[in-house]
Amino acid sequence: MGKNKPKVATACMCGCSGCHMSFLDVDEFVKDLAELVEFQSSHVIMDIKDIGKVDIGILEGTITNDENVEVAKKMRENCDILVAWGDCACFGGIMTMRNFGQIDNILEECYVEKGDEDSVVPDDDLIPTLTKKAKSVDEVIKVDAYIPGCPPSAEIIRYGLEKLLEGEIPKLDKDKLRY
């Protein structure tokens, strides 16, 4: 990972951001981590979303639209090790429930049926174009490490980050998994 501090970037696809909130639960380790790594982008640590060249890239959430695909591909192109963080990124999560319906029907229900009498489905220029199916990150790009959980506990996130910083891919046995 180089002689300088490893560079880390995180990004959130479609999801609740619970994995990033769980990350903040590592408490003092966030301060320690700031001494060990250089955060290049993160919507939680700093409000920087542009992904530059990094050693470790972390993606949270399900890929559900063209914007998510672009962010995932950019992260993959710009990182040495890519981590899928949380059940949505690892397995598709609850967002894949939409795969059982038709996109037009889902948009109609979300925007019109659940809205007021003047509600309409927004134009494509107002919302990102949905992918045909909601997908886990590894259905779109190569993933090097998985840290599942909904959300993964702060303890598991810390364990995963420590292993990555030691140059190892974290291996989670059944005692470390949380659902």
Question: Which residues, including other chains, have CB under 8 Å from residue 34's CB and lie 6 or more apart?
Answer: none
Structure tokens at 96: 């894949």
User: Is pLDDT at 116 greater than 60 in this prediction?
Assistant: yes
DSSP string over 38-79: EEEEBTTTSSB----SEEEEEEESBEEEHHHHHHHHHHHHHE
3-state secondary structure of 131: strand
> What does the domain layout of the chain look like in residue ranges?
7-96+131-176
Question: Which residues, including other chains, have CB under 8 Å from residue 77's CB and lie 6 or more apart?
Answer: none
pLDDT in tens, 35-94: 889 888 766 655 556 788 999 999 999 999 999 999 999 999 999 999 999 999 999 999
Output the pLDDT for position 2: 46
pLDDT in tens, 97-115: 999 999 989 888 888 888 8
What's 7-96+131-176's CATH class?
A: alpha beta
Q: What is the value of pTM for the model shown?
A: 0.88
